Amino acid sequence: MLPSHLNGHSPLARRRPRLSAASPPATGDSDAAAAAADAPLAEHDRIYFQSYSHIGIHEAMIKDRVRTDAYRSAIMHHQKFIEGKVVMDVGCGTGILSVFCARAGAKCVYAVEASEMATQAREIVKANNLDDKVVVVHGRVEDVEVEDKVDVIISEWMGYMLLYESMLPSVLFARDKWLKPGGLILPSHATLFMAPITNSERYEGSVDFWSDVYGINMSALVPLAKKFTSEEPSIEIIGGENVLSWPFVVKHIDCYTFKAEELKSITTKYKVSSMMLAPIHGFGLWFEVEFNGPSNPTDKSPSDLNPLDVIRTKRRRGSEDPVVLSTAPEDEPTHWHQTILYFPDPIEVKQDQIIEGSVKVSQSEENPRFLNIQLDCTM
């Protein structure tokens, strides 16, 4: 059993906004706006939202061309559905996705943002002559009020290993309260993948390094280095060559039907076969999201498919297929990188050796935006 925790001291502090008593929404009921601004916040939410007032976070996200181009392509892919319709952008940040939707012909875009960045988003909208279409609403989506039901919900809610930050419940809240029947959600589906990985260079650089430092024996630090390496997930980039087996699906999410309660605890059993003779240094997690319409009840979800079929399907996509944003090791890197759960010590495996066990991902009781991960593995 190899427990790991995503917590406030890990390098997973990337994203999302802060609520404060800044300016009210540009339009709409002033009492509702004041209520949204004054709504009490848990301390973990206050800190979370405050982090999204920092421009550096938005710079990193927008400069991620894989991410930003995928959203822009998805909006244009669904332009016929967006044109003349009402859109809600949940956690709009700088408002870039709201601007994309307005330029795609949306009649009205409610750009909901809980951080101080709402002030700059409003200025950006005005500078692009879209203040007649885009209404920046300052507050949490759970607290604000808007005038209309919406035809489309768009949000960039994904955190490291998909679920870190737990912003998805806000999107689901908006879906249940504001989305019209038959409405569009972008992204529509998300899948979290996991696979054993090998990474001798990284392990040697973090652990074996201490055995000989400038000719000084510092091996007393090796146990501490192993403890540190395996206690917290590492956010880093690996390549397809580091992955030892076909990935398995930890969780598939259909944003049209998924319930927030399902995020409290996710447990998946796995059984994979090593594709080579190599040391296993841990497991890697990554995700992909798809920008599609509501699921056909007869469609299979990725959890029902062989991962090889999922990957082959992705590789065969044509111009008419839904846009997919992937953070897989074999794809172009994104600012999400991959999330790695390292073992204290590597384990040698042979080609075709079976690796099996279970993984449990649950929300922290102290802070539901953080995750606890429990990994069981036998070989």
Look at residue 242 in the predicted model and tell me its pLDDT: 98
Q: Residue 285 domain-assigned?
A: yes
Q: Residue 128 domain-assigned?
A: yes
Tell me the per-residue pLDDT of 95-128, one tens digit each, with 9 for 90 and over: 999 999 999 999 999 999 999 999 999 999 999 9
CATH of the domain at 243: 2.70.160.11
For helices 117-127 and 96-103, the axis angle rounded to 10 degrees is 30
Q: Is 310 helix (H, G, I), strand (E, B) or coil?
A: helix
Query: Which residue did the predictor score with more confidence, 347 or 23?
Result: 347
Q: Residue 62 domain-assigned?
A: yes
Residues noted as catalytic? 156, 165
Q: What is the mean pLDDT of the chain?
A: 86
Q: Residue 302 domain-assigned?
A: yes
Q: Residue 75 domain-assigned?
A: yes
Q: Residue 14 domain-assigned?
A: no
Tell me the per-residue pLDDT of 12-32, one tens digit each, with 9 for 90 and over: 434 433 222 233 334 444 454
Binding-site residue positions for S-adenosyl-L-methionine = 58, 67, 91, 113, 142
Tell me the per-residue pLDDT of 182-225, one tens digit each, with 9 for 90 and over: 999 999 999 999 999 999 999 999 999 999 999 999 999 999 99
Domain that holds residue 128: 42-155
Q: Into how many domains does the chain fold?
A: 2
Q: Residue 207 domain-assigned?
A: yes
The DSSP call for residue 200 is: H
Q: Could you tell me the pLDDT band of residue 297, with boundaries at 50, 70 and 90?
A: very low
Q: Which tokens hold the place of 277?
A: 């003779």
Instruction: Please check whether residues 215 and 150 belong to one and the same domain.
Output: no
CATH of the domain at 81: 3.40.50.150
Binding-site residue positions = 58, 67, 91, 113, 142
What contacts 24+ positions apart, CB below 8 Å, involve 257-261?
Answer: 257/295, 258/168, 258/172, 259/172, 260/168, 260/169, 260/172, 260/173
Look at residue 262 in the predicted model and tell me its pLDDT: 95
Q: Which tokens hold the place of 312?
A: 């082959």
Q: How many CB atoms lie within 10 A of CB 320?
A: 6
Instruction: Please check whether residues 150 and 193 belong to one and the same domain.
Output: no
Q: Is the pLDDT of residue 295 over 90?
A: no
pTM of the model: 0.85
Look at residue 7 in the predicted model and tell me its pLDDT: 38
Q: If you write DSSP's letter for every residue of 33-60 in order, what string do you get?
A: HHHHHH----HHHHHHHHGGGSHHHHHH
